[in-house]
Amino acid sequence: MKRALTLMGMLFATVLTGTQAASANEYPLPPSGSRLIGENIIYNVSNAGHSLEAIAAEYKIGLLGMLEANPGTDPYLPTPGSALTIPTQMLLPDTPREGIVVNLAELRLYYYPKGKNKVIVYPIGIGQTGMNTPLKVTSISQKIANPTWTPTANIRKRYAEQGEILPAVIPAGPENPMGLFALRLAMGQGEYLIHGTNANFGIGMRVSSGCIRLRPADIEALFNTIPQGTRVQIINEPVKVSVEPDGKRYVEVHQPLSRVASDDPQTMPISLSKKQKAFADDQQTDLPVFESAVVRRSGMPVLVSVGQDPADVSFAPVEPQSANNDIPAEAPISSVN
Active-site amino acid positions: 195, 211
SS (H, E, C) 16-28: CCCCCCCCCEEEE
DSSP annotation of 318: -
Rg of the Cα atoms in the chain: 20
Amino acid at 225: T
Residue 272 gets which letter from DSSP? P
Strand partners, 37: 90
Closest CA to 94 of 229, 251, 206: 251
Q: Kindly report the CA angle at 35 between 317 and 135, in degrees rounded to 5?
A: 115
| Phi, psi of 225, rounded to the nearest 5 degrees | -115, -20
Measured torsion, CA atoms of residues 193, 200, 120, 270, in degrees rounded to the nearest 10: -80
> If DSSP codes are grouped into helix, strand and coil, which group holds residue 295?
helix
Q: How many whole angstroms separate alpha carbon 334 and alpha carbon 337?
A: 8
Is residue 129 exposed (0-12), middle (13-18) or buried (19+ Cβ within 10 Å)?
middle
